[in-house]
């Protein structure tokens, strides 16, 4: 490994003394550009240390400086102790979750979380402050979660596993998708878990049975309540809101 150490030539001096300095500079730059650099005097805090690419298809305990490419589901990548300046990155060739071994994870919509999931194609960079992990790039993504139903409502179709209606959070944005049918107006149809619930009641205009419209309210407890005057089903696609 080589240090990027340059001895600069001096203008006006004989070639015999300055040519070796030029050769030294070119050699050092070439060596460094090819990745052969001594990293012992470089820290991630300075932003110069490259990530070490690690590919894994099984649960993995990360070290500071790892860029973990997960290739198999389900997999958990456990973060190291949150020593100040530690940094870990991940890329999801398969779904996985970062898990904090100590402290918690903070990011948009993820305040003090124990885990931070990613879906295929997602990426994330986390840096420690000495106590917790901060998401400095990318957003956690839960993927589609299937609803449970209440009051006679049932699935019509949707994006979640098994073509079921569902909900999903990416960063601090919650989305709903799919169709529901069969239940009465004014009663809770489905509910959402803690972390997906709005801070205040939200109202959305939705399509019911293709030609008519109704209103869906979403309460701070996560209850999704359809209100309509005609139709037997409704679409939840297009409903989204932020959580803080």
Give the tens place of pLDDT for each residue, 112-133. Answer: 999 999 999 999 999 999 999 9
Look at residue 2 in the predicted model and tell me its pLDDT: 43
Look at residue 178 in the predicted model and tell me its pLDDT: 93
CB-based contacts of 90, cutoff 8 Å, min separation 6: 67, 68, 69, 70, 77, 96, 98, 118, 123, 124
Q: Residues 84, 56: one domain?
A: yes
Asked if residue 217 lies in contact with residue 225, where contact means CB atoms within 8 angstroms, the answer is yes
Look at residue 162 in the predicted model and tell me its pLDDT: 82
Query: Which of these three, 97, 119, 137, is where a domain ends?
Result: 137
Number of domains, the chain: 3
Output the six-digit token pair for 212: 């008519």
pTM for the model = 0.76
Mean pLDDT value across residues 57-77: 96
Look at residue 144 in the predicted model and tell me its pLDDT: 95
Question: Which CATH number do you get for residue 106?
Answer: 2.60.120
Output the six-digit token pair for 217: 């309210």
Mean pLDDT value across residues 230-238: 84
Q: Residues 127, 80: one domain?
A: yes
Model confidence pLDDT, tens digit, residues 74-89: 999 999 999 999 999 9
Range of the domain at 21: 1-41
| Residue 189: DSSP 8-state | -
Model confidence pLDDT, tens digit, residues 136-151: 999 999 999 999 899 9
pLDDT higher than threshold 70 for residue 46: no
Mean pLDDT value across residues 2-19: 61
Asked if residue 166 lies in contact with residue 158, where contact means CB atoms within 8 angstroms, the answer is yes
Look at residue 116 in the predicted model and tell me its pLDDT: 97
């Amino acid at each position: 490994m080589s240090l990027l150490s340059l001895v600069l030539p001096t203008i006006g001096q004989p070639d015999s003394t300055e040519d070796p300095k030029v050769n030294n500079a070119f050699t050092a730059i070439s060596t460094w550009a090819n990745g052969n650099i001594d990293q012992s005097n470089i820290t991630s805090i300075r932003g110069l240390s490259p990530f070490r690419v690690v590919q894994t298809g099984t649960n993995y305990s990360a070290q500071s400086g790892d860029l973990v490419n997960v290739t198999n589901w389900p997999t958990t990548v456990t973060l190291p102790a949150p020593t100040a300046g530690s940094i870990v990155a991940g890329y999801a060739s398969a779904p996985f979750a970062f898990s904090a071994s100590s402290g918690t994870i903070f990011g948009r919509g993820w305040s003090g979380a124990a885990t931070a999931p990613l879906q295929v194609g997602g990426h994330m960079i986390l840096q420690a402050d000495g106590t917790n992990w901060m998401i400095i790039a990318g957003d956690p993504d839960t993927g589609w979660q299937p609803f449970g139903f209440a009051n006679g409502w049932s699935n019509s179709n949707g994006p979640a596993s098994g073509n079921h209606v569902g909900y999903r959070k990416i960063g601090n944005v919650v989305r709903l998708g799919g169709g529901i049918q069969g239940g009465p107006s004014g009663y809770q149809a489905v509910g959402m878990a803690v972390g997906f619930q709005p801070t205040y009641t939200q109202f959305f205009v939705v399509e019911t049975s293709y030609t008519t419209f109704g209103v869906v309210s979403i309460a701070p407890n996560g209850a999704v309540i359809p209100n309509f005057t005609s139709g037997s089903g409704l679409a939840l696609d297009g409903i989204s809101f932020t959580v803080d």
